Amino acid sequence: MASQFYAKTSETIGVFQGYPEFDATLNERFFTLDPPKSENAAENDPEHDEEVMFFSQNTRSTASVITADGSLMAVAFPKFIRIFTGESFNNLVVELPVEIATHDIRFSPSGNYLSTWESFNLDGKNPNHKNCKVYYTRDAATTKPLYEYTHKSQSNWSLQFSKTDAYCCKLLSTNELKIIKLDSDEKSKKTAGFDFSQAWSTIKFPYAISQYHISPSEQTPSIVTFIPEKQGKPACIAIWPFMENEVDTPIISKNFFKADSCQLKWNEQGNAVLGLTTTDFDKSNKSYYGENTLYMLSFTGANGKLGSKSIRVPLNKEGPVHDFTWAPNSKEFAVCYGFMPSTTTFFDLRGNIIHSLSPDSKNTIIYSPNNRYVLVAGFGNLKGLVDILDRNDDFKKLSEIDGSNTMTCKWSPGGEFIMMATTSPRLRVDNCIKIWSYSGKLVFVQEYEELLQADWRSSHAGKDPFFEKKETMKIQAHPSVTKYYLDHPSKAPNAKKAKPILIGSWKKKAANRTVVGGANIVNAKPIGATAGVPGTTKKPANSAKNNNNEKKTPPPSSSSSAGGNTSDVTPEQKKIRSLLKKLRAIKALKDKQDSGEKLEDTQVLKIESEPQVLRELKFLGWSEGDKA
């Protein structure tokens, strides 16, 4: 089974199988529940219509999320939250009743706990309203929250768990972080009290921190914190160990100025962190968005027992940092920076430059999960051109993709395909999901009137097929791609290569005309007029020959004009003709093969494409009984 992906609209969630089937597998009833029916209610009864309207308003999803391993999906409704599991999310695990509509939900890394956020004290009658709740997800009988607390803002509201859900952190004040240790057995998880007054560990900070993040390490997690610059005191990024009792000494810290905010990113191993600092104002007036500086802090051994290091990443071009990301192997990172055209540079853990790309209009970098490819793109206010590079072949460019209007861009879990989605509300037209191969071939398209979210479903059961470079020509497109290009001819791969005929010939005549300086523009001849004495006409030298040719040209017969008129042929019919031509060629090759003739590799591949050709023909409405 290939990697699945899902699409969320205002009414449904659709789950699709990956390459090559792309079949929709999810039951839409997860979102659109049947309204209640009364035996005595008539179809046109106003009271019944109001009941149905009330029901539809209260069964529309307000939030949804999938666990990191793809095993669970939670969907929030105004009156309850449902958690599903299964290959197609077709099994209901638990239904959690809620009194107030939930607007944000998040799973813990292992999926054992679900955190929810609802608007604080909407009616103003409950100043002690605990609007954040934590539920246990693995038991249908456990429907009450294990822990409740208050957090008015929707930013940084959720508790943070370690990767295995063994630890949970909460910032009680801006200067104190509490860590509790959660039991590993199932019975204790169901009744976990989340008592932060009996904390396993406490970290106290010298100044107020603005954010913290737990590392993704499974064995020995750690915490990175950021203290902004304030009242002449420098900003600070620090990494703290997970140790029992009180912790007052960090593993490593870095102090600096010019930092009002910071974006922090751990590598996958959890032994290094990148911090992009930003100032609210750029005193040099070179950037509207403030100044950027990138730092890296790393350590070796458990809690840094074998050493630590901090550096300022050398960026040799002025301008903002557009994007920075870690490689999946945690041994390198990439940075896209500088005024346009920007520069993309790859660094190792020591801050040394591995490779630098030529300046280009790019602002996004994404490694494939298998660390085999690197996607470098220019989204947002840029043209949307996407380059796919081969990391194992000195960053050689493999393909280029047109990703205009892309809001979501993600590699598949196997690293062989790329999802590009156009979503609402940022763009309310041309909402769609496109799945591309790393070779630059479009393999699937699904259009929507309104698409809110799209993402891959990470799962141990789903894995992309692996393609060697010589096998890329075997990748077959889904029939939806053919239909998409027929509906949108301007977006077809060869659309730009088409040469205009009438418009081009007219432009050529206009371009050959030159205006002599000092000429009387009022008396200038129109296009096609010949120079001469006013009041006289001049015959072309070959007019007699033209007249003879005109006389010899027979008038078109009615039969030829009727039979040769192809203006009524639809694009679908043209495509069917082309596919039938391929089918006849495949049949001829199969006859050669049956007779014992040795075929070339390309001819064998052409024979193997027969099922795909038949699928496209059936998708266009052709059947084997039709005349070829």
Q: Among candidates 317, 350, 349, which has minimal Cα distance to 336?
A: 317
Check residue 287 and give its pLDDT: 67
Answer yes or no: are the C-beta atoms of 447 and 422 closer than 8 Å: no
What share of the chain in percent tops pLDDT 90?
A: 39
188 — pLDDT class (breaks 50, 70, 90): low
In this structure, which amino acid lies at residue 275?
Answer: G
What mean pLDDT, rounded, does the chain reach? 80
Distance between terminal CA atoms of the chain? 35
If pLDDT is split at 50, 70 and 90, which confidence band does 512 have? Answer: very low
- The pLDDT confidence band at residue 526, using thresholds 50, 70 and 90, is very low
* pLDDT tens digit sequence for 265-305: 999 999 999 999 998 877 766 666 678 999 999 999 888 88
Structure tokens at 279: 């100032």
- CA distance to 111, 116, 153, per residue, from 104 (Å): 16, 6, 12
Residue 284: φ, ψ to 5°: -85, -5
Question: What confidence score (pLDDT) does residue 45 get?
Answer: 56
What is the per-residue pLDDT for 472?
56
Looking at the predicted structure, is the pLDDT value of residue 537 above 60? no
Give yes or no for residue 545 having a pLDDT over 80.
no
Query: Is 132 in contact with 157 (CB distance < 8 Å)?
Result: yes
Question: Two tokens at 97?
Answer: 């009743």
Question: How many angstroms separate the CA atoms of 379 and 528, rounded?
Answer: 47
Q: For 11-20, 228-237, 249-258, 399-408, which range has the lowest pLDDT when averaged over its residues? A: 11-20
Which residue would you say has higher pLDDT here, 20 or 393? 393
Q: What is the pLDDT of residue 132?
A: 92
In terms of Cα–Cα distance, which of 343, 309, 321 is closest to 263? Answer: 321
Residues 6 or more apart in contact with residue 118 via CB below 8 angstroms: 98, 100, 101, 102, 103, 131, 132
87-106 average pLDDT score? 88
Quote the CA–CA distance of 69 and 387 in Å, as a whole number: 28
Task: Determine the pLDDT at residue 55.
Answer: 37
CB under 8 Å to 446, separation ≥6 — which residues? 7, 14, 16, 432, 433, 480
Lowest mean pLDDT among 105-119, 150-164, 174-188, 530-544: 530-544
Q: Are strands 343-348 and 332-337 parallel, antiparallel or unpaired?
A: antiparallel
Q: How confident is the model at residue 625 (pLDDT cuts 50, 70, 90)?
A: low
pLDDT over threshold 70, residue 541 = no
pLDDT at 445: 94
At what angle are helices 571-594 and 601-608 packed, to 10 degrees?
120
Amino acid in the structure at residue 311: I
Tell which residue, 441, 430, 406, has the closest CA to residue 420. Answer: 406
Percent of the chain, pLDDT > 70? 76
- What separation in angstroms does the CA of 558 have from each of 388, 550, 551, 562? 55, 19, 19, 6
More confident residue, 594 or 464: 594
Predicted local distance difference test score (pLDDT) of residue 37: 45
* CB-CB contact of 22 with 412 (8 Å): no
C-beta separation of 336 from 364 below 8 A: yes
pLDDT at 365: 97
Which residue from 365, 391, 394, 390 is spatially nearest to 377, judged by alpha carbons?
A: 365
Residue count of the chain, please give it: 628
More confident residue, 540 or 164: 164
Predicted confidence (pLDDT) per residue in 12-68, tens digit? 888 888 888 888 776 444 554 444 444 444 555 555 444 433 334 456 778 889 999
77 contacts 64 by C-beta, under 8 angstroms: no
Q: Does 417 have pLDDT greater than 90? A: yes
For the segment 582-588, the average pLDDT, to the nearest whole number, is 87
pLDDT > 80? residue 525? no
Contact 19, 476 (CB under 8 A): no
Give 121's pLDDT tier (boundaries 50, 70, 90).
Answer: confident
Q: What is the pLDDT of residue 9?
A: 86
Under DSSP, is residue 461 helix (H, G, I), strand (E, B) or coil?
A: coil
> 3-class SS at 470?
helix
H or E stretch covering 604: helix 601-608
Quick check: 159 pLDDT over 80?
Answer: yes
Task: Find residue 218's DSSP bridge partners.
Answer: none
Q: Encode pLDDT of 560-569 as tens digits.
A: 444 445 456 7
The Cα 525–Cα 297 span in angstroms is 75
Q: How confident is the model at residue 224 (pLDDT cuts 50, 70, 90)?
A: very high
Q: Is the pLDDT of residue 513 over 50?
A: no
* Three-state DSSP state, 199: coil
Q: What is the pLDDT of residue 524?
A: 39
pLDDT tens per residue, range 593-622: 888 788 887 788 788 788 888 877 777 777
pLDDT value, residue 186: 61
CA distance 477 to 579: 14
Extents of the domains making up the chain: 570-628
Average pLDDT over residues 340-362: 95
Q: What angle do CA 418, 423, 425 make, to 5 degrees?
A: 160
